[in-house]
Every structure is written in C-alpha cells, then in structure tokens.
Amino acid sequence: MTSFILPFDLVEDDAGDSPELRNRIREMVLARLESLDLGQTSRQLSPQEMQKIISELPRIGESQLKALGHEDSVCPICFTSLLALLVEEETAQAMDSPAHPIEELGVTRLSQPWQCGHIFCRRDISRWIHEGHDSCPTCRRRLIKQEDESPESSTAEPEHGDAYDQDIFRILQTIPGGIGSLGDPDSFIGDPLSFFQGPPLYNPPRSEQDEDRSEFLGMYS
C-alpha cells in the first residue's frame, strides 16, 4: 500500500496538536469539495435523512483500521492521521470536560451496502452530511439508497491501498499550491504536486507512535 507522508513542518504541527492548522486544512479542502459538488446532479438531504445517515455511522477502532489496511492512512478532509484521531477520542473519553462532543470524535466509515466504504474522522463527515450533501465527498457515491439500484450494483467493496490513496491524491490535485501552501494564505497558486516537495519528509516509526500514545493517555489515567 502506498501511504502519503506529510511534510515535516505539518507533521510537527499535528504532533503538537495544532487546531488552527487542522482547521485551515479542513476549511480549504471542504471549500474545494463544495465547489466540485456544485457540478454534480445532487439534491439536499432532508433533516430526517441526515439524522438517519449519521446514526448509522459505525465507530471504527484500531483493530478494524488494521483489518481494512488503513492504520497509516489519514482523513481525506482534515488530513489528520486516523490513529491520532483515535487517540483524541480516547483522551476525550477520559476527561470530565472534553473540548468537543464525544459523538463528533473518532473514526468512521461509510459502511452501508450501497455506500462506498470510505473512511473519515467523524467530525468532518458529520459536518458534510449536516450541510445536506447526499454523496461521499471524495467519490460522489450516494449516501442514501436509490430505489432503482440493484443489490449487485449497491455492494461496496472496502477501500484498500492504492484506490484510497488515489482518492486523496485527487483531492490534493484540485487544491492550487497543495497543502504546503498553507504557510501563506496568499500563496494558493502553482503546481499541486509541490505538496510532495520542499521540506524533509518525516514518518514517525510505529514504535514511536505507540510510545507517544501511551504517554498521552497516561496523563488522564
């Protein structure tokens, strides 16, 4: 499986839990996805449909991520490591007053038979659904079952490896200047592939991630 590695400065900010950077990435990606969604033949979800879709979203744990081949993947909206999102959820559950509602934390998947199987952080996909979008933000597969859809065509295979990476890469390609341009809000121009260039790349060893996770959770045990 091909895994995307964020530039060192972005990883460092993420490791330091930078809500500002995460929000900037989220807002930029969502804005671009919104503009792409305008050209699709879609409709607004009703409040009842929104609630039903969100209520059916499963909570995905670390063992399930491994089984799906996504332990090293990121949310395709905020580009936060899925494992880091699980740590955030566990930490919040151990706190008396978490910064965000527990139901918005963690990792989920569009897992219904007619859905695509893409994985997101709960906060971002919930926001997308609450805004009324009726399709997956990355592949535009419908979130609600179509009446004229046959069982054969509505069965989604889990996303693995390169197929998932291609969806993320496609998102990056639509963002002028790539996420690397976030250092300067006025520099959203240039080659999208510049995201993969520039500062040295850093991908923490798995043992280091596990140590950080244990230390982080130990603060609240």
Domain boundaries, the chain: 8-212
Q: Is the pLDDT of residue 154 over 50?
A: no
**Digit-coded pLDDT (tens) for 156-181:** 444 444 554 555 555 555 554 444 44
pTM given for the model: 0.61
Residues 19-34, mean pLDDT to the nearest whole number: 76
Residues 35-43, mean pLDDT to the nearest whole number: 61
Contact 179, 25 (CB under 8 A): yes
